[in-house]
Amino acid sequence: MLTPRVTVVKMPIPKKKLVKLYKKEKNPRVKERLQAIILLSEGRSTKEVAGILKRSIRSVERWIKSWNEGGYEKLIPKFTGGPKPMLSKDEWEKVLKEIEGKGYSIREVMVYVNTTRGVNYTYKGVWEVIRRKKKVKPTRAKRRILKMRRPF
């Protein structure tokens, strides 16, 4: 038979201050987490709190752990990740000066930006920046004629 998990909520601040924090909070995620801490401090179980807030028991346990480790500050979500920032306008100006007169195709510019700046652009992304935003006119690429021998 499984025994219910016992969760202990440390109360580094008085309950009245906690309720004030809850009322003043503008971030809905933090507000929900504070509400869970308040309900738990009133003696409710993790399962009851999860049911009231329509969240999983595991989420409520994670919030308790965060609260016990660092209080209010640890309840604030830290968003990380996402796409790498694209090149700024100034950085694109530098790239265009570096490749000026070299007759690069859009695909070659895409590879150049990736190798020198470490930012991955799609073909369409490079085209958008070069042709539309920077108003660079296309140049006629030198035709490379490969002489091939044809078998008879």
User: What are the angstrom distances between the C-alpha of 60 and each of 49, 71, 119?
Assistant: 8, 14, 39
**Are residue 25 and residue 67 in the same domain, yes or no?**
yes
In a domain, 150, yes or no: no
Is residue 1 one of the residues assigned to a domain? no
Going by the DSSP 8-state scheme, the letter that residue 79 receives in this structure is -
- 128 is in which domain, residue-wise? 89-133
Q: Give the pLDDT confidence of 82-101 residue by residue, as tens digits.
A: 766 588 888 888 888 888 87
Both 32 and 64 in one domain: the answer is: yes
Q: Within this chain, do residues 20 and 66 fall inside the same structural domain, yes or no? A: yes
Question: Are 60 and 24 found together in one domain?
Answer: yes
Q: What is the pTM of this model?
A: 0.53
pLDDT digits (tens, 9 = 90+) for 40-90: 988 899 999 999 999 999 999 999 999 998 888 899 988 877 766 588 888
Q: Which residue has the tokens 């920032």?
A: 85
Q: Tell me if 69 sits within 8 A of 37, measured CB to CB.
A: no
